[in-house]
A and B are shown apart, each in its own frame.
Chain A
Amino acid sequence: MSIEDPYELLSKWFEAKEYLVVGKSVTRSDSIEKAIGKARFLEDYYEPGRMLFVKQLLSTEPHAIIESIDYSDALKLTNIVGVFTAKNIPGINNVGYALPDQPLLAEGKVRYHGEPIALIASWDIDDAFKALEMIRVKYKRLTPIYDPLEAMERKDILIHDEQGSNIAFTTKVRKGDIERGFSESSTIVKNTYKTHHQEHAYLETEAALAIPDIQGRINIISCAQYPHLAQRIVSKVLGIPASNIRIITPYIGGAFGGKDDEGPLVAAKAALVAYLTGKPAFLIYSREESIRIHPKREATIIEYTSGVDDNGYLKAIKVKIIHDTGAYTNRGPYILWRATMHSSGPYYVPNAWVDGYCVYTNKVPQGSFRGFGNPSIQFAVESQMDELAKKLGIDPIELRLKNLLRPGMDTITGQKLDHSVGVADLVDKLARKMEWSKVRRELEDWNKRSNRYKRGLGIGVAWHGISTSRGVPDWSNAYIKIERDGSVNVYTGIVEIGQGTPTTSYRQIVAEALGAPLEYINVVFGTTDAPDTGATHASRGTSIGAIGVLVAAAKIRERLNRLASDILKTNPENIVIRNGRVFDKISNREIRWEELIQEAYNRGVEVSATGYFYLPKGKFDDKIGQGFAYPAYSFVAVAVLVEIDTWTGKVRVLKAWPGLAAGKIINPTQVEGQIEGAIAQGIGYVLYEKLEFGSKGEILNADLTDYVIPTIQDVTLDVEKPVYVEDKYKYGPFGAKGVGEMAFIPLPAAIANAVSHALNKRVTTLPLTPENVLKLIGGL
């Protein structure tokens, strides 16, 4: 019997002292394919004329009863095969993730301008567009509400009647005794912070192609970040077993969380048409549709009070978080939950009182976006820290170092963190390396000499729970089989959205654990043919997703070690498999990898395995918001230098210094790519990006001309090499924690703190468009 207990296997590899490929900047296997246009994205599968083209009819009202939908004229067009509405849905017209409040196609009522109402299926694109203009929807208008504060108060206007209130969901934390905490505080700071929506603006818009096959199954080429979730949603909408639905994911042109929310719905819409017509159906969102329909980063209002004692130790926080969830909650409750449980920042706070409200309005829904509720709350936390430091007259880094979590301390939810807490080391190391104090001092001198331009240095420190929240089950799995020629196939549900997990770190992990050459490893990603691996979100693709990959590979490795020891007449412990060489380290006798695998087939040793791993979690008491929140936290700190033109209000980020405590770094280049990408996205969010809403709650800038994301001239190219603290996490693969979302999270805080430093004025509202900066200075 070989040892195949996942915990033992994980800890065995966790102890590894040296690595063959893990920790190296292995080049991704998909780069060249992508560069020469061979990599297939969604639209590449569409064949005009041979597949139905699906076009969506969207609501032009923010809040209204649908009295009738008349598409009889549209059906007269030669190429129109059908127009489908809620009443054509054979299964359940409910796709809400957190609460059952969202229809796939509007039913009875529309709740935002842009909400999908009907699907037009046409053999030709022209007719699809024509049909769109021929459908008449009769609305009975209801009063819309756009302001979440107003929505919370109003009982006479309900966006969801069945809820009885516009407050969809609440959260809380009650820790210690805040009255005592504040009475022990000598310095108290109170502020209200506001953050705005962010559009993902992935360069590939959403699409799906659903193809019925002869066995009665529906195959869907999908852009969802979680194939098995798309499968579940489609199954529910169509009312057919999940086993009849197969999801395949091609390369995805960016996702950032947006395709986690919208992806399954796109798949369901295409599948609905394919199911009803029996024909392959292709749905693609235009850029305008993409911006109007899919959920956005949360817009928030946060009231935050914090107190510190004379020695600069945090004593208490009181926080009220309001999330404008728009027309549907989508993942809003989870987002709010995450924000609430991160509302202390990575600091030790003995007393906390936090209330969170997820509030409906008649706007585009709120959803998942890199950081998932955390960037806005860390912006509030870190602004508070700077204000406290200022009032105390101490350096912002010094105040943070006093309060940062250390191993053995408990979090805001009373969860004790026993290991993998590298944040204090990280901040200390980063501050030293970048010479924080010296740079700050030099800037203050520089500002004395400069009238028009002002410079500032700010830092944001943040934490981010890895995996899904609370006791919500999380697991990992993968299926690996070694083919007779020694090449290896890895099947995973994790998708490739740009992060490179399947094409780099998975290959590295498998090559490391099996000892097979890296180029022998092929990863089949994003498919429901693989065991349910969970979603590619919450920075879990490598941290959690890869556990299953490692466990499966490690199981096979145990078997191979035993087989090799039989062949080479030695103990399994003496077997080394490295880069395709299999040898006994005592006698140096050797065989080749291919021979070993051939022998495995000959002697009946199974060279395939699944790697199921169930993440151990604790209990959480929702009534007081105390208990086990997350299995582990990644930590991040980013410092930025900004320059402000006080005449025009323009802000430029001149330089950024990132640092990360995310356990073992499996591929440094990939991690840097995630950091640099997140910094650019953060700069975009804070300085340029802003959705503009019209009088009907409609998005006025639903294009990339007026929703401006950073160009190559708008980011800083001066991003220092990251500082790493490899605070390994015991269940992570080789000790890795999550990376993908991390650098975004402290960015709003870091930029806001830098601007506040430069101007000597507290930033409390984002974005920092030139106009808003001038207002802050009092110049407008």
Chain B
Amino acid sequence: MKVRFILNNREVEVDVDPREILLDTLRYRFGLKSVKRGCERGECGTCTVLINDKPVYSCMVLTVQVEGQRITTVEGLVNDDLFKKIIVSFAEKGAIQCGFCTPGFILTAYALYRIKDKPSIEDILKALEGNLCRCTGYKKIVDALTSIRS
């Protein structure tokens, strides 16, 4: 089935089986390896992408469902100022260890900062509750995000 959508600001078209999940389309048809597979059942957050600026798990979406939608992964944000601010803060604060969870966290945080430029700690914790990290203990992630509140 043909599906057209906007991926990282580019119009794209793919021909997929309706069973194909967005996670696989992004990884294997577009080489977007930032989108990680941790569980494939909506439990971990490593496959987070933005659909129309909202974070969702790409393992829980069929590719055929994104017809006409706007998909963003970190690869599409490398020139974005807010994004740069977030990743630099993550790096400087030591919020990245193994890094497997990192793109997911950054996208969710980015989506949050797009709607609130001064989120409270509660907002941050609430927004990120669906992104698991087994390495950092989250403290440095929260530090990284609170330190960029404008």
A–B touch (CB < 8 A): the answer is yes
Q: A35-B103, A670-B94 are known contacts. Are A709 and B134 too (CB-CB below 8 A)?
A: yes
B12 at the interface (CB under 8 A from A): no
**CB neighbours of A203 from chain B (8 A):** 36, 38, 44, 46, 98, 100-101, 132-134
> B120-142 interface mask toward A, CB cutoff 8 Å, 1 = contact, 0 = none?
00000100111111111111111
Whether B90 pairs with A35 at a CB distance below 8 angstroms is yes
Cα(A32)–Cα(B134), bound, Å: 19
Complex interface bits, B41-69 against A, C-beta within 8 A gives 1, otherwise 0: 10110100000000000000000000000
Q: Mark A15-41, 1 if CB is under 8 A from B, else 0.
A: 000000000010110111111110111
Which residues of chain A are near B137, meaning CB under 8 Å?
673, 676-681, 715, 719
* A678 to B136 CA separation, bound complex (whole angstroms): 8
Say yes or no: A253 contacts B78, CB within 8 Å: no
Tell me the minimal C-beta distance from A707 to chain B in angstroms. 9
| CB pair B98 A497 closer than 8 Å | yes
Asked if A572 is at the interface of the complex by the 8 Å CB criterion, the answer is: no
The reply on A82 being an interface residue by CB < 8 A is no
A36 and B75 within 8 A (CB) = yes
Most-contacted residue by chain B among A35, A44, A254 (CB, 10 A): A35
> Which residues of chain A from 461 to 503 have any CB-CB distance to chain B below 8 Å in the complex?
496-500
Interface membership of A276, Cβ < 8 A: no
> In whole angstroms, how far apart are the Cα atoms of A37 and B96 in the complex?
12
B140 touching A676 by the CB < 8 A rule? yes
Inter-chain CA distance A710–B138, complex, in Å, is: 10
Q: Give the residue of A498, A713, A717 whose beta carbon is less than 8 angstroms from that of B135.
A: A498
The answer to whether B33 has its CB under 8 Å from any CB of chain A is yes
Are B99 and A704 in contact (CB-based, < 8 A)? no
Beta-carbon contacts under 8 Å, B105-125 to A: 106, 125
A499 touches B132 (CB 8 A): no
Residues on B with C-beta less than 8 A from A31 are: 87, 90-91, 96, 99
Q: Are A676 and B139 closer than 8 Å at their CB atoms?
A: yes
Q: Which A residues touch B138, using CB under 8 A?
A: 676, 680, 710, 712, 715, 717
Distance in angstroms between the alpha carbons of A676 and B96 in the assembled complex: 12
Count chain A CB atoms within 10 A of each CB in B75, B97, B98, B125 and give the residue with the most: B98
- Kindly state whether residue A48 has any CB partner on chain B within 8 Å: yes
Interface-central residue, A252, A497, A681, A712, by most chain B CB under 10 Å: A712
A287 within 8 A of B: yes
Is the C-beta of A202 less than 8 angstroms from some C-beta in chain B? yes
Q: Please, what's the 1-or-0 string for B11-45, where 1 marks a CB less than 8 Å from any CB in chain A?
A: 00000000000000001100011111111110110
Q: Are B99 and A39 in contact (CB under 8 A)?
A: yes
Distance (whole angstroms) from the CB of B44 to the closest CB of chain A: 6
Shortest A706–chain B CB gap in Å is 9
Question: A669 contacts the other chain (Cβ, under 8 Å)?
Answer: yes
Complex alpha-carbon distance, A256 and B133, angstroms: 13
Q: Could you say which residues of chain A place their CB within 8 Å of the CB of B74? A: 35-37
A252 adjacent to B40 (CB under 8 Å): no
A-B contact count (CB 8 A): 168
A35 contacts B91, C-beta separation under 8 Å: yes
**Which residues of chain A are near B136, meaning CB under 8 Å?**
673, 676-677, 680
A305 at the interface (CB under 8 A from B): no
A35 to B, closest residue via Cβ: B87
Inter-subunit contact A712/B125 (CB<8 Å): yes
The smallest beta-carbon distance between A205 and chain B, in angstroms, is 7
- Nearest residue (CB) in B for A251 is B99
Contacting B at CB under 8 A, from A40-72, are 40-41, 43-44, 48
Contacts of A349-369 to chain B: CB distance below 8 A: none
Query: A202 to B37, alpha carbons, bound, how many Å?
Result: 12
Interface members, chain A 509-542 (any B CB < 8 Å): none
Q: A34-B99, A35-B102, A37-B33 are in contact. Are A201 and B87 (CB under 8 A)?
A: no
A453 vs B144: C-alpha distance when bound (angstroms): 32
Q: Which residues of B contact A669 (CB under 8 A)?
A: 93-94
**Cβ of B72: which chain A residues have Cβ within 8 Å of it?**
none
Contact, CB under 8 Å: A37 / B103: yes
Chain A, interface residues (CB within 8 Å), range: 35 or more
Distance in Å: Cβ of A495 to nearest Cβ of chain B: 11
Chain A positions within 8 Å of B98 at CB level:
34, 202-204, 251-255, 496-498
Cβ–Cβ contact A35 & B132, under 8 A: no
In the assembled complex, the CB of A28 is this many whole angstroms from the nearest CB of chain B, namely 7
A37 with B73: CB separation less than 8 A: yes
A717 to B81, CA, bound (A): 28
Answer whether residue A703 sits at the interface, using C-beta atoms and an 8 A cutoff.
yes
**A26: shortest Cβ distance to chain B, in Å?**
10
Decide: A286 near B40, CB < 8 A? Known: A32-B87, A203-B101, A497-B98. yes
A35 touches B96 (CB 8 A): yes
Once the chains bind, are B129 and A711 in contact (CB under 8 Å)? yes
Residues of A within 8 A of B35 (CB): 37
Known A37-B74, A703-B39, A712-B128: A202·B90 in contact at CB below 8 Å = no
Is A184 located at the chain interface by the 8 A CB criterion? no
Contact with B along A200-227 (1 / 0, CB 8 A): 1111110000000000000000000000
Taking a contact as CB atoms under 8 Å apart, the answer to whether B94 and A672 are in contact is: yes
A279-325 residues with Cβ-Cβ distance < 8 A to B are: 286-287
User: Within the assembled complex, what's the spacing in Å between the Cα atoms of A253 and B104?
Assistant: 13
Contact call A677/B38, Cβ cutoff below 8 A? no
CB of B41 within 8 A of CB of A705, answer: yes
Contact B97–A713 (Cβ < 8 Å): no
* B-side contacts of A200, CB under 8 Å: 134
Interface contact B91-A204, CB-CB below 8 Å: no
**Which chain A residue shows the least CB distance to B34?**
A37
Please, how many angstroms separate the alpha-carbon atoms of A339 and B75 in the complex? 46
CA distance A168 to B94 in the complex (A): 43
Complex CA distance for A670 and B92, rounded to whole angstroms: 11
- Judge whether B37 and A499 touch: CB under 8 Å: no
Give the chain A neighbours of B44 by CB distance below 8 A.
Answer: 203, 704
- A254 with B100: CB separation less than 8 A: yes
Alpha-carbon distance between A200 and B138 when the two chains are bound, in angstroms:
17
| A25 / chain B contacts, CB cutoff of 8 Å | 94
Chain B residues positioned under 8 Å from A30 (CB to CB): 96, 99
Closest to B73 in A: A37
Residues of B within 8 A of A255 (CB): 98
Given the complex of chains A and B, what is the CA–CA distance between A36 and B33 in angstroms? 9
In the assembled complex, the Cα of A200 lies from the Cα of B44 at a distance in Å of 14
Establish whether residues B125 and A36, one from each chain, have CB atoms under 8 Å apart when the complex forms.
no
- Could you tell me the distance in whole angstroms from the C-beta of A48 to the nearest C-beta in chain B? 6
Q: Is the CB of A499 within 8 A of B41?
A: no
Choose among B32, B97, B128 the residue that contacts A498 (Cβ–Cβ < 8 A): B97
Q: Point out the residue from B41, B102, B125 that lies within 8 Å of A34, measured CB to CB.
A: B102
Do A681 and B134 contact each other (CB < 8 Å), given the known contacts A203-B98, A253-B100? yes
Q: Is the CB of A287 within 8 A of B38?
A: yes
Q: Are B142 and A717 in contact (CB under 8 A)?
A: yes
Q: Which of A201, A253, A672, A681 contacts B36 (CB 8 A)?
A: A253
B27 partner residues in chain A, CB cutoff 8 A: 43
The CA of A719 and the CA of B94, in the complex, are separated in Å by 15
Interface residue from A676, A705, A719 paired with B43 (Cβ < 8 Å): A705
Q: What's the Cα separation between A684 and B91 when bound, in Å?
A: 25
| Nearest Cβ on chain A to B144's Cβ, whole angstroms | 10
Asked if A715 contacts B139 (CB within 8 A), the reply is: yes
Q: Which of B39, B78, B90 contacts A287 (CB 8 A)?
A: B39
Closest B residue to A48 using CB positions: B28
Leading 4 A-B pairs by shortest Cβ distance: A37-B34, A34-B99, A253-B100, A498-B98
Sample 7 A-B pairs with CB under 8 A, ordered by A number.
Answer: A28-B96, A31-B87, A37-B33, A202-B98, A251-B98, A673-B97, A680-B137
Interface of A toward B, CB cutoff 8 Å? 25, 27-28, 30-37, 39-41, 43-44, 48, 200-205, 251-256, 286-287, 496-500, 669-670, 672-673, 676-681, 703-705, 709-713, 715, 717, 719
B residues near A, CB below 8 A?
27-28, 32-41, 43-44, 46, 73-75, 78, 87, 90-94, 96-103, 106, 125, 128-142
Q: A498-B97, A715-B139 are in contact. List 16 more A-B contacts (CB 8 A).
A: A32-B91, A35-B90, A37-B33, A37-B73, A48-B28, A203-B98, A203-B101, A204-B100, A499-B97, A500-B97, A673-B137, A676-B136, A703-B41, A703-B43, A712-B128, A712-B138
